[in-house]
Amino acid sequence: MSDAIVDPAADAAAATPSIKLGVVVLDTPDPAGSAAFYGKLLGVEVAAADDDWVSLHSAANGLRLAFQLAPNLIPPTWPDGEIPQQFHLDLYVENLDAAGQHAVSSGARPVEGPDPSPDFRTYLDPAGHPFCLCQA
């Protein structure tokens, strides 16, 4: 009989493959327009583009965001929830007022949620996806 100590956490870690998030992809009826919006909002250039896929990449901060053609996309109706939002992006900012003005000048629309907070503000991108600017 072995006196070896079995560590279940170590066994689980050894059995778990290395998985990393590669890119967040948003469906949109206008990949180029969505990429232009987020590129301006985040200060990132387009890395690759074709008719149905445009990607943004920043080597400086590791951001990878892409936009896939979805001509029949029905945007969420947040906050009423008739069509659920399914996901949203939280973007950290140093100054909520300045970042909010920049978002609106880039094409975002502010949205009032059911639980206003002094720590974040919610917007819709031009395709109707919700995102939050959050105080860093």
Domain boundaries, the chain: 22-72, 74-136
Residue 111 near residue 100 (C-beta atoms within 8 A): no
In this prediction, residue 114 carries a pLDDT of 73
pLDDT score of 1: 52
H-run or E-run covering 13:
helix 8-15
**Could you say which residues of the chain have pLDDT below 70?**
1-4, 6-14
* CA distances (Å), origin 123, targets 12, 92, 131: 40, 13, 5
3-state helix, strand, coil in the chain (%, to 5): 25, 30, 50
Topology (CATH level 3) of domain 22-72 = 3.30.720
Q: Which pLDDT belongs to residue 3?
A: 62
pLDDT at residue 41, as a whole number: 96
Predicted confidence at residue 66, as pLDDT, reads: 97
Looking at residue 87, its pLDDT comes to 83
The CATH fold of domain 74-136: 2,3-Dihydroxybiphenyl 1,2-Dioxygenase; domain 1 (3.10.180)
- Residue in the structure block whose two tokens are 């974040």: 120
